[in-house]
Chain A
């Protein structure tokens, strides 16, 4: 790195901070709580040494509650820390998601890690650097503004130098964070805003230890579990003789209707599991809805309904009114690697290595399920296969713990089998969205109505009171019940995420219906309700434009005053050379769609191309363009990778994905019964990133999925003149639409 040493310009902050720190340190905690709320994740973790340590060799160790899920967060957070601390990337180490070491930042979800976790690290590191500089100034008998800092070395004009390692011995970082030291101005940032190679990728492409699946401990044994044939079934009897006859069996573990096995070798666990499946006798369990009438049955279930947005104005009279209903099925996270955990009981304490998105909430539910003190449970994050929300990660952790309890001292590694994951993970909710709009004689929307029906989108761990959200806790001899279904309130929303349109409609009413029953297990799947609501709103906008013979891009802009929203639409139409009023030719067509994720995060506009094979009734998406505005960009290529990935994953959801079931249970149990997009089907993506580096950084991991779905639907309509309103767009549905 040849970056010129930076002149210190922050003396005033350092001074101010000194006084404030003393005031905070002396004040009782309650008084501190009455002061201004700290930003981001600092609010719940206000001590500086919770976030970082300066090591004796002058390097830094950053502690974060946010975890790597394959989204590149560990690299982005190191970029932020290295910039604020004036350290090279290689001298910043990151420890993430460990209940014994890191701050509790809840879940790594909702595209909030940069906004909340990144803000916390930025402010903590800025304060630590200022403290180091002040301490150096004192030692050197100079004023802080006389000093320069480069690569962890503070230098005086006379050539004297002090490294962070030498300074840290005399500096106590156990103090409250003030958030009063201003982070660096943009022009002084070296790493943030550029494309930085991900730190985790070299190991992942060379067979390095990178995942919880790769954890190997001395004396480790292997586990497998046997799940009931359907939700809620009870284990009547199991003759475990055949399982116990499998060589290497250490223990067959039964606790009520929880059943599992521990063996010396992994393949033995698979064989013993098969033997237990054959021997187990189950009864009862719940009946599932009729899959051929799924959405009718769901809409008839009890709901908690609320108006989430209402606007009224006097406008010109309605000339035309339109109405349409859109649906999506239950969708699976379908991680490539089934969920896995390693658990060990030792001296009354439990340690679990897990790819949970929230080690602290997981710890609370594990402790409840095992009747342990929370302090006796440690959860340590290790990466898993991409999860895209709440998959089996947390459940397998309790499963492993239940097995480990039966073989004290020995670490138990448990990876679910493929059918465990498909049949038992919590799915993304099936949903219904009904849109209605009136236009005046000039073709402007004067009234907008949107109603959405959905199950909850979060049944993550840390259920209230004695409830428990971990799967096995409902089946053990003393079972818990799951926590009550809840909806994440607006403005983020759950089922109603992105249900409130960003357009300027003079009259509008948005109603959320939370379906309180849960015939299939559901929880958070990437974007929650936003994928459905954006699909519905953006399909409907397209339908209105087409019905009134207006260009869909111009029609959107005519109803949109948000400057940044207009910009992504304008950029994508230029990039894709969109022609006003362009028409498809029966086989090929293009469609446009837009959203600001959660109405709070990244703006994305998409133009997708489709090709329809009329014989097979298959839709292909050869190319798609996107323009994205994520505010200040931390890692340019990392952001592009997230937007591209979202577009391609959404193509898979939109064309292929639906959890299959019959009245007896889930029948999607492998990749042939839950097909996803293959490489030849993946669209080529062209992403334009708009860097508004004066704006705050916005979450981007879930921003492109909704617009991509609607762009595909709109492209199909552009090509054929027919509408697809029910996801996914399978050949059967395409056939019906084409007539």
Chain B
């Protein structure tokens, strides 16, 4: 069967069962690399995407439950040439080692900044509490989110 999904502003049809986790469809049918398989258990956050602007774990989000909701992946935020302020801040502060968790960090931070454009450092840390990083890049990640908030504030 085929299911229709709206991903990064485009209507896409994918040949998958309704109980298929969104993550596999994004990666394998739509060739979007951003969301990563980390645990498949909604524990680590590497697979985070936005559903109508809110961060969700795509590894446990069945495509049959999404309906008309808009899916945004990290590819939908910006590109290497025109990065989103969050992506730019992560590049500027070199806030990655292996980088496998960074998709989840950025997408969770996007949700945070949309809700709370001027978070405190404690609010950023708490917002990222359910996103695991193994390389020990936490300090840079938090600073990058704060930097992005600052830069986005300047623009508006």
Give the B-binding residues of A (Cβ under 8 A). Answer: 69-72, 197-198, 200-211, 213-214, 216, 222, 265-267, 270, 334-338, 383-386, 388, 415, 417-418, 637-638, 641-642, 644-652, 670-672, 676-680, 682-685
Contacts and interface: CB of A to CB of B under 8 A. Distances in A.
Contact of B73 (A201, A204, A207): A207
A638 B33 CA distance: 25
B51 interface: no
B87 interface: yes
A649 B24 contact: no
B90 A336 contact: no
B37 A646 contact: no
A386 B140 contact: no
B129 A204 contact: no
B65 to A, nearest CB: 15
Contacts of B33: 207-211, 213-214
Contact of A205 (B28, B87, B122, B132): B87
B44 interface: yes
A678 B97 contact: no
Top 6 A-B residue pairs of the complex, sorted by shortest distance between their CB atoms:
A70-B98, A648-B136, A207-B34, A386-B98, A204-B99, A682-B138
A616 to B, nearest CB: 16
B136 A647 contact: yes
B132 A670 contact: no
Given A206-B74, A210-B33, A418 B94 contact: no
Interface in B84-118: 87, 90-91, 94, 96-103, 106
A679 B138 contact: yes
Given A336-B101, A337-B36, A337-B38, A207 B75 contact: yes
B155 interface: no
Interface of B: 16-17, 20-21, 24, 27-28, 31-34, 36-41, 43-44, 46, 73-75, 77-80, 83, 87, 90-91, 94, 96-103, 106, 122, 125-126, 128-142
Contacts of A682: 125, 136, 138-139, 142
A201 B140 contact: no
Nearest to B62: A267
28 contacts: A200-B99, A201-B99, A203-B80, A204-B99, A205-B74, A205-B87, A205-B91, A206-B75, A207-B33, A208-B80, A213-B36, A213-B37, A265-B20, A267-B20, A334-B134, A336-B36, A336-B133, A337-B38, A383-B98, A386-B97, A415-B37, A644-B137, A645-B135, A670-B39, A671-B39, A678-B130, A680-B126, A682-B136
B90 A205 contact: yes
Pick from B40, B44, B96, B102 the residue with the most CB of A within 10 Å.
B96
Contacts of B79: 206
Contacts of B140: 641, 644
Nearest to B101: A336
A211 B38 CA distance: 13
Contact of B24 (A267, A337, A679): A267
A33 to B, nearest CB: 39
Nearest to B21: A267
Nearest to B26: A207
Contacts of B137: 641, 644-645, 648
Nearest to A266: B24
A716 to B, nearest CB: 20
B132 A197 contact: no
Given A202-B91, A337-B38, A671 B129 contact: no
Contacts of B130: 678
A648 B125 CA distance: 14
A654 to B, nearest CB: 12
A441 to B, nearest CB: 44
Contacts of A265: 16, 20, 24, 28
B46 A336 contact: yes
Contact of A337 (B46, B74, B91, B142): B46
A80 to B, nearest CB: 19
Contact of A670 (B43, B126, B135): B43
A215 B125 CA distance: 33
Nearest to B32: A207
B109 to A, nearest CB: 11
Given A334-B134, A671-B132, A205 B106 contact: yes
Nearest to A204: B99
Contacts of A650: 136
B96 A205 contact: yes
Contacts of A334: 134
B132 A336 contact: yes
Given A207-B73, A641-B140, A386 B126 contact: no
Contact of A678 (B28, B94, B129): B129
Given A206-B87, A641-B97, A679-B138, A672 B20 contact: no
Given A337-B36, A672-B43, A685-B139, 16 more contacts: A70-B96, A210-B99, A265-B20, A265-B28, A336-B133, A337-B37, A338-B37, A645-B97, A648-B138, A670-B41, A679-B128, A679-B141, A680-B122, A680-B125, A683-B139, A684-B139
A385 B24 contact: no
A335 B122 CA distance: 26
A679 B16 contact: no
A418 B24 contact: no
A457 B20 CA distance: 41
Contact of A418 (B40, B77, B122, B142): B40
Nearest to A68: B98
B125 A70 contact: no
Contact of B98 (A69, A270, A638): A69
B17 to A, nearest CB: 7
Nearest to B38: A336
Contacts of A652: 136
B78 to A, nearest CB: 6
A341 B60 CA distance: 23
A194 to B, nearest CB: 13
A678 B40 CA distance: 19
Given A201-B91, A418-B41, A70 B99 contact: yes
B41 A205 contact: no
Given A201-B90, A671-B41, A672-B43, A680 B129 contact: yes
A672 B44 CA distance: 10
A683 B137 CA distance: 11
Nearest to A386: B98
Given A70-B135, A201-B90, A201-B91, A206 B78 contact: yes
A59 B139 CA distance: 37
Contacts of B74: 205-207
B56 to A, nearest CB: 17
B110 to A, nearest CB: 12
